[in-house]
Amino acid sequence: MATVECRSVRKSYGEHEVISDFSLSIEDHEFVVFLGPSGCGKSTILRMVAGLEDITGGDLMIGGRRVNDLDPGDRGIAMVFQNYALYPHMSVRENITFALERAGETKDMIARRLAPVVETLGLQVYLNRKPTELSGGQQQRVAIARAMIKTPEVFLFDEPLSNLDAKLRGHLRVEIARLHKELRSTSIYVTHDQLEAMTLADRIVLMNAGRIEQMGTPEEIYSRPATLFAAGFIGTPGMNFFNLVASGGKLTDGEISIDAPFPLSERPVTVGIRPGAISLVRDGMPGAIPAIADRDEFHGETRLLSLTAGRQSFMVAVPASVRVAEGEQVFVSLAPDQLHLFDTESGARIDA
Ligand SMILES: Nc1ncnc2c1ncn2[C@@H]1O[C@H](COP(=O)(O)OP(=O)(O)OP(=O)(O)O)[C@@H](O)[C@H]1O
């Protein structure tokens, strides 16, 4: 059983507290992704779980056992780093088997463990090469093989794909997902790449400034962001935000006005809507908002138009075949069931 539990975990560097009161329970077999901007504390938490950083306060439990003071080697974890951290003078085979050899395992047993790992990661033909004779993606596969061969209870990944080009990143992402399906080890994966988070995670832990901003499945966070921060962080292209005021059943800034989706007391409201939930419509449609086209970006199947309506600027995703000239006036309609409302001051989601 390899659950991981952080109970009010804190971390300070001198006077500077970077993690305050962090609590999280990760279930056996679960794949949890820590997602958040640079400096929000993702790596610090992972490194505390790994035993590479001291814990300033709170309890860290792995498999129900308190591990705050255990050495990394005694925690039943294996970690894959961003920079591979392979031994340059050793062959691929030696890099993968080094930990087992050091633990005094027999040659037979090592060979038996090596074969399936090498096969799963497609490394057969590289076993006698040195890491410098491999591409970045191949080196990262060796690093994953080295972690896998330990058959850990918990896998920790610290931005393992961020040094690779986009194509390789996509490829290895699929491999990591497949590996997890096969091995079902409890996994914690740190990234600032939301696409990795959305595609790999059973559950995303979205972090901001050392705190958990929102936790949930990728679908939950995407379709019901709990805060303005979560709404702005998840989704490419990003969500549009309109700064409006709720008044008399409307949301308005004096120039544009939309129907409030439910009764609201008078107050500043930030309305979020994704670029795909706004459509171009004909003049005269009820609720149509006039806007001026500023720019358009070709994205292959879609085109992303930048528009301005009064004081509000926003993006609309349209099929690539739709052409709008710069400076042209258009009319847009906002899908009423796809509006996300937030309290402008606190950033908290407002529901009916
Ligand atoms: N050894 C250290 N001494 C002092 N401050 C540190 C140390 N390591 C990290 N920090 C600070 O702790 C905070 C969290 O850092 P951390 O590396 O966990 O962020 P991160 O979310 O993983 O960011 P990134 O995606 O850039 O790696 C940052 O403000 C960082 O400056």
Of all protein residues, the one whose alpha carbon is nearest to atom 30 of ligand 1 is 39
**Is the previous residue joined to 131 through a cis bond, with omega within 30 degrees of 0?**
no
CA of 122 to the centre of ligand 1 (A): 34
Together in a domain, 25 and 135: yes
Q: In CATH, what number is assigned to the domain containing residue 177? A: 3.40.50.300
Of all protein residues, the one whose alpha carbon is nearest to atom 31 of ligand 1 is 39
Together in a domain, 183 and 139: yes
- CA 131, distance to chain mean position in Å, is 29
Distance (Å) of CA 352 to CA 261, 262, 264, 284, 327? 8, 6, 8, 29, 38
Phi, psi (degrees; rounded to nearest 5) at 146: -65, -35
* Three-state SS at 233: helix
Together in a domain, 164 and 297: no
d(CA 178, CA 119): 13
Of all protein residues, the one whose alpha carbon is nearest to atom 9 of ligand 1 is 44
d(CA 339, CA 50): 41
Phi, psi (degrees; rounded to nearest 5) at 123: -105, 5
Rounded mean pLDDT for each run of 10 residues along the chain, 352 residues in total: 93 94 96 95 95 96 95 91 88 94 92 89 92 90 89 91 84 87 92 93 95 96 97 94 95 92 94 96 88 93 95 95 93 94 97 90
CA of 170 to the centre of ligand 1 (A): 26
Give how many domains the chain has, as a whole number: 2
Phi, psi (degrees; rounded to nearest 5) at 302: -120, 170
* Three-state SS at 38: coil
What is the predicted pLDDT for the residue at 1?
A: 62
Distance (Å) of CA 345 to CA 155, 185, 208, 214, 264? 39, 42, 17, 18, 15
Contact 97, 127 (CB under 8 A): no
Tokens standing for 87?
Answer: 């031994």
Last residue of a domain, one of 195, 226, 257: 226
Q: In CATH, what number is assigned to the domain containing residue 244? A: 2.40.50.140
d(CA 324, CA 334): 18
Contact 335, 276 (CB under 8 A): no
For residue 164, what are the domain limits?
4-226
Q: Structure pTM?
A: 0.90
Together in a domain, 162 and 22: yes
β-sheet bridge partners, residue 212: 207
Together in a domain, 97 and 209: yes
Together in a domain, 113 and 45: yes
Nearest atom in ligand 1 to the alpha carbon of residue 44 is: 18
What is the predicted pLDDT for the residue at 83?
A: 81
* Three-state SS at 180: helix
Nearest atom in ligand 1 to the alpha carbon of residue 192 is: 25
Closest by Cα among 148, 151, 155 to 123: 148
Fill in the DSSP letter of residue 348.
B
Ligand 1 binding residues, C-beta < 6 A: 13, 18, 36, 38-44, 192
